[in-house]
A and B are shown apart, each in its own frame.
Chain A
Amino acid sequence: EDKVVQSPLSLVVHEGDTVTLNCSYEVTNFRSLLWYKQEKKAPTFLFMLTSSGIEKKSGRLSSILDKKELSSILNITATQTGDSAIYLCAVSNAGKSTFGDGTTLTVKP
């Protein structure tokens, strides 16, 4: 059975800090790893990482896929209070996505 584990479960930091969120997976027929941000209801897409695209960056957010270690990290630099959310990691297998339970990030002013 496919499995995704995220750590830490929760994290509290202050504005300006840098955070690293972790995601490890066990999945058959891996196609891609996705990161989502969930603030209230709908998860919003952040990054998709594949064998041909193991590193992505957008502004203060970046992510790396380690296919050898079956893991990924999401980095957020210079955190802001607006970064407070649940960050979800998912691995995709032919359309079906298996999600971890997320990391709840709280950024204090």
Chain B
Amino acid sequence: DAGVTQSPTHLIKTRGQQVTLRCSPKSGHDTVSWYQQALGQGPQFIFQYYEEEERQRGNFPDRFSGHQFPNYSSELNVNALLLGDSALYLCASSLAFDRVNTEAFFGQGTRLTVV
């Protein structure tokens, strides 16, 4: 079992550019959530995808968007990058969001640096 895989592991972008991060969930999982973790802080919920639709969203601007594919993998897109977007972006997979009490498994994350 490959677990949750994310790519790329590291990325450096220039302010104003756009970036796409990718996530493949753990085998058997159908729900993908994205988190942003700034240095010294806990992960902050960005949004969650299930059945190819965004089901829940945290307090992030519309510059953050996503997509889920039929094979349950997901992408996170960030437009018009700001210096403050520099962070570790974590993907977590789980079983269907409306099922009771399923834990999430995290990938290794993508370290995004905006210069």
- Contact, CB under 8 Å: B31 / A43: no
- B side interface size, CB within 8 A: 31
Give the distance in Å from the alpha carbon of A92 to the alpha carbon of B58 in the complex: 13
Residue B98 CB within 8 A of the other chain: yes
Closest CB in chain B relative to A41 CB, distance in Å: 4
Kindly report which residue of chain A lies nearest to residue B4, judged by CB atoms: A42
The main secondary structure of chain A at its interface with chain B is strand
B101 partner, pick from A31, A43, A44, A45, beta carbons under 8 A? A31
- A side interface size, CB within 8 A: 25
Residue B56 CB within 8 A of the other chain: yes
Kindly report which residue of chain B lies nearest to residue A92, judged by CB atoms: B101
Give the distance in Å from the alpha carbon of A48 to the alpha carbon of B41 in the complex: 21
- Contact, CB under 8 Å: B48 / A96: yes
A41 partner, pick from B41, B44, B45, B108, beta carbons under 8 A? B108
Do A99 and B44 form a contact, CB below 8 Å, given A42-B107, A42-B108, A45-B103? Answer: yes
B105 partner, pick from A41, A45, A88, A97, beta carbons under 8 A? A45
- What residues of chain B have their CB less than 8 Å away from a CB belonging to chain A? 4, 31, 33, 35, 40-45, 48, 50, 55-56, 58, 88, 90, 92, 94, 97-98, 100-101, 103-109, 111
Extra pairs beyond A94-B56, A96-B48, A101-B42 (18, CB < 8 Å)? A41-B90, A41-B108, A41-B109, A42-B106, A42-B108, A42-B109, A44-B106, A48-B101, A50-B101, A95-B31, A95-B55, A95-B56, A95-B94, A95-B98, A96-B56, A97-B43, A99-B43, A99-B45
